Structure 1
Amino acid sequence: MNRHIRSVEDVLVLLDGLFAPEADRWTERAGDWWDGFYSDRDRAVPFFVAKPDENLVGYLERGLITPGRALDVGCGPGRNAIHLARNGFQVDAVDLSATAIAWASERGEGLDVRFRHGDAFATEGSYDLIYDSGCFHHLPPHRRISYLALLDRTLKPGGHFALTCFTAEEGTSTPDADLYRQSGLAGGVGYRPADLRWIFQDLTEVELRRMTDQPEDSPAFGRSFLWTALFRKD
């Protein structure tokens, strides 16, 4: 039966199919890809498991964020969610990869963190912090609408949104329209500071900078090809 468009969500689902023709929704393809990545734990890059982001560590040390309820979007094996839980947060963590969630659940046993396999855009609740390390730059352009709706719906007034994403040098700078013509993100979308300020203009910028490179023996992860941004909802 032909499904006729009658809502914004219908339009987004239609665009999912144009973006990823081999799947009904882009989430199916993304989940399958990350399941494959995390299936070989010896092959998965070590920082995906062991180290929290240096900017997150810094936000906590400087008191820019304080313990409360947190949502980790695209949590992978839980490196940042676990760090938040160890620092007093009650954490919900979501990922499209069932393999990553199984791994994260093993690592987070005994901590105040709830890992869930699924689509983060379906999350309900109210959060003091929403943290995203590496999810946003893997979204097709039309799903920025879903992303902003998630922030609007679940981030408390006075709460913080923290983001780590590709710079324009690391990610693709292909215009949005051309991404649909090629049916892919070419590894991920690269952003400029002006892009992030435009997209998240309804939030107040606290800090936006390059991530600081970290040595191999550092307890935190840091690579300068990533932006780190902290925003507040007033």
Structure 2
Amino acid sequence: MQETIHHYDDLLRMLDSFLREPAPFWDEFFSDREKSVPIFVNAPDENLASYLKSGIITCGRVLELGCGPGRNAIYLAENGFEVDAVDVSKTSLDWAKERADERNLSINFFHRNIFDFEIEDGKYDFIYDSGCFHHIAPHRRISYINLIERALRPEGYFGITCFHQGGSLGGSAISDWEVYRKGSLMGGLGYTEGRLTDVFHTLKPIEIRKMIDQNESENLFGASDLLTGLFQKGIK
């Protein structure tokens, strides 16, 4: 490969090469379904369930970014949403498809890097991300935000669950510049309420809070070391 930068995309790919290659890592991560990983539980995020229960989020077309084994995509499909779910790991998508088939659910799963996923403008009423954004390198953050703004319809909603800075599950407090000095996201970048509001400043914040811990009997996933946010796109 020629190491020459002609275009902005060449610059992004160069910066990508300094950090972990995502697909092989995540295929390995999801290969052992029996290991003790909190997000392997087959239950939706408690904050996602609260959005539906309160009536803020109603049935429509939804996109899940980094769907993993499909627990949130499945929950949304069970509640009447038309669901597109994308992930870079084929291993996780195979698991998600098995879970969906067990429930006879129709979900459109896509094996893609989210930055290579073609999306028509204003297609989605709701976009949800549980655990993808904190693994996005700083140089890809602008592309991520542009994706959200382009794909959401006016007055559509964006929900996110990510590492809280300094949390026990992850949440590195290093600066954006330090990511490149170290050549690592240090397991995932941590966010605070203020930082999350600043990153998504073009969207209207509806709710930003820590996740609420859940026990197994509630059939929901919740861990207070994670931060949740719900935002709304305005009308231009």
Residue of structure 2 in register with 1:184 after alignment:
184
Decide which of 97, 107, 114 is 2:108's aligned counterpart. 114
Residue of structure 2 in register with 1:24 after alignment:
none
Measured after TM superposition, the shift of residue 59 of structure 1 is 0.3
Unmatched tracts of structure 1, length 5 or more = 21-28
- For residues 129-156 of structure 1, the C-alpha deviation after alignment (integer angstroms, 9 at most, x for no partner) is 1100000001111110120121122111
Question: 1:44–1:119: structure 2 CA closer, same or farther, 3 Å change rule?
Answer: farther
Q: Report sequence identity in percent.
A: 49
Asked if 1:226 corresponds to 2:226, the answer is yes
Decide which of 72, 93, 100 is 1:101's aligned counterpart. 93
Question: What is the TM-score when the length of structure 1 is the normalising length?
Answer: 0.92
Measured after TM superposition, the shift of residue 200 of structure 1 is 0.3
Question: What is the TM-score when the length of structure 2 is the normalising length?
Answer: 0.91
Measured after TM superposition, the shift of residue 167 of structure 1 is 0.8
Deviates more, 1:117-126 or 1:130-139: 117-126
Q: Distance in 2 between matches of 1:44 and 1:31?
A: 21
Asked if 1:144 corresponds to 2:136, the answer is no
Measured after TM superposition, the shift of residue 3 of structure 1 is 4.7
Q: Distance in 2 between matches of 1:151 and 1:51?
A: 25
Q: Distance in 1 between matches of 2:39 and 2:133?
A: 18
Give aligned pairs, total: 226
Asked if 1:48 corresponds to 2:45, the answer is no
Aligned with 1:82: secondary structure? helix
Measured after TM superposition, the shift of residue 47 of structure 1 is 4.1
Aligned residues of 2:45 and 2:221 also touching (Cα < 8 A): yes
Aligned with 1:142: secondary structure? helix
Question: 1:85–1:166: structure 2 CA closer, same or farther, 3 Å change rule?
Answer: same
Asked if 1:156 corresponds to 2:188, the answer is no
Unmatched tracts of structure 2, length 5 or more = none
Amino acid across the alignment from 1:35:
D
Amino acid across the alignment from 2:147:
L
Q: Distance in 2 between matches of 1:36 and 1:77?
A: 13
Asked if 1:73 corresponds to 2:65, the answer is yes
Asked if 1:35 corresponds to 2:32, the answer is no
